[in-house]
Amino acid sequence: MENTQINQEKYAGFLVRLVAVIIDILIVAIPLGILVGIITVASGTTNPQSYAHSSVFSWGTLFVEWLYFIIMTHTKGATLGKMLVGITVKSANGQPLSIGQIILRETLGRIIAGIILCIGYILAAFTSKKQGLHDMIAKTVVVYKDPTNTSKTGLIIGIVLASVLFLVPLFFTAISIIGLLSIMSKNGGKIPGADSYGQVLTDTASSADVSPEVQNFTIDFPGMPTHTTKVSTISSLNIKYPIGIYSYAKTNSEAYIVEHAQYPITMDFSVPKEILQASLDGEVKSLEGVISSSTLKTFGKYPALEYQLYSKQNGIHIRGKNIMIGNELYEIGVFYTGAAPKDIDVFINSFKLK
């Protein structure tokens, strides 16, 4: 009797199952995408390795999808996508579908089915019972819930495919534009990070007011830095000079910064240690801070000043190194509140000249 019932059932083909999977992916991906967009806009982050670009997010999405397929199939016999097109998963032998079969189907079965160009899934278009490789492994079949009423399937297929090919890309494009405009509004109308091309950064700042010769460098930021420039003035000499500022805020209480100042070549650089100390004194004054430690060292053949200071007014600690190379000053620092970040030394010591 059971065999007769199985034989009368109408197996769901490859196309209708593909549409169901697309619907299910959208059901999981759209809410997660909106959540990530909200977090990104709210935090104003410009780090492409965070949130949607991070491996944590990717694995998290896969885990949510895996749970969704298992829970829905175990409790309802079908996911929301399958329900929409009127199909369900059953045991191939007519027995009740077990949780073990479902887990086997949704884990090992799907891994093997998709491992080589998804050939294991495409098999559903050619086998007699429309089984994919994951179905064969778990001994399951996908059938129409009501084999006598499948007239709406074609319409649903058309609507879903049109949505995927047209409406969904427009939706995500709109979300991206809104997020970008929001972040730009917080950054003076500029796209943050537009001047940066990777974690290893090369400085190419220059100014028409001074000598165009600029020393290149690289440094390993923990994320994508933003790049801004400004022109400062030495009031006593009425001379302008450019400053390139590269910064990455890892959190609200932790920031990594490199400032590159190119002083006019007409200045006196015979005592570079005095310029290093003057730059530190200026930072202390601007932050109303106190120097905790200050040590003169060298960076290769160039003089350097390592320091640590604390601003009681702002509660900010700064550890950094200033390096004087000819008429150029590099200020490398980590700003933080609370406990010192573990990668301060890694960041500071990764600075290299090119």
Look up tokens 């879903």; give the residue: 160
Integer Cα distance of 140 and 106 in angstroms = 11
Token readout for 133 is 């490789």
| Residue 205 lies inside a defined structural domain of this protein | no
Phi first, then psi, for residue 100 (nearest 5°) are -65, -40
Q: In 10 A of CB 9, how many CB atoms?
A: 16
pLDDT band at residue 210 under the 50/70/90 scheme:
very low
Query: So what's the pLDDT on residue 162?
Result: 54
Q: Are 179 and 236 part of one and the same domain?
A: no
**Residue 204 located in a structural domain:** no
Is the pLDDT assigned to residue 135 strictly greater than 90? yes
Model pLDDT, residue 208: 33
Residue keyed to tokens 């006196």: 268
Find the range with the poorest average confidence among 17-26, 89-98, 116-125: 17-26
CA-closest candidate to residue 335, choices 308, 315, 317 = 317
- Does 59 lie in the same domain as 164? yes
**Distance of alpha carbon 119 from alpha carbon 117, whole angstroms:** 5
CA–CA gap between residue 253 and residue 58 (Å, rounded): 26
Residue 202 lies in a domain: no
Predicted structure pTM score: 0.47
Do 16 and 91 lie in a common domain?
yes
Report helix, strand or coil for 21. helix
**Digit-coded pLDDT (tens) for 262-303:** 887 777 778 888 888 888 887 778 778 888 898 999 988 899
Within a domain: 344 = yes
- List pLDDT tens digits, range 77-109: 999 989 888 899 999 998 999 999 999 999 999
Instruction: Answer yes or no: is 54 within a domain.
Output: yes
The tally of domains found in the chain comes to 2
Pick left, alpha or beta for residue 27 (phi over 0 → left; psi -120 to 50 → alpha; otherwise beta).
alpha
* Residues paired with 243 in a beta bridge: 230, 261
Same domain, 142 and 26: yes
Distance CA 182, CA 194 (A): 16
Host domain of residue 47: 2-185
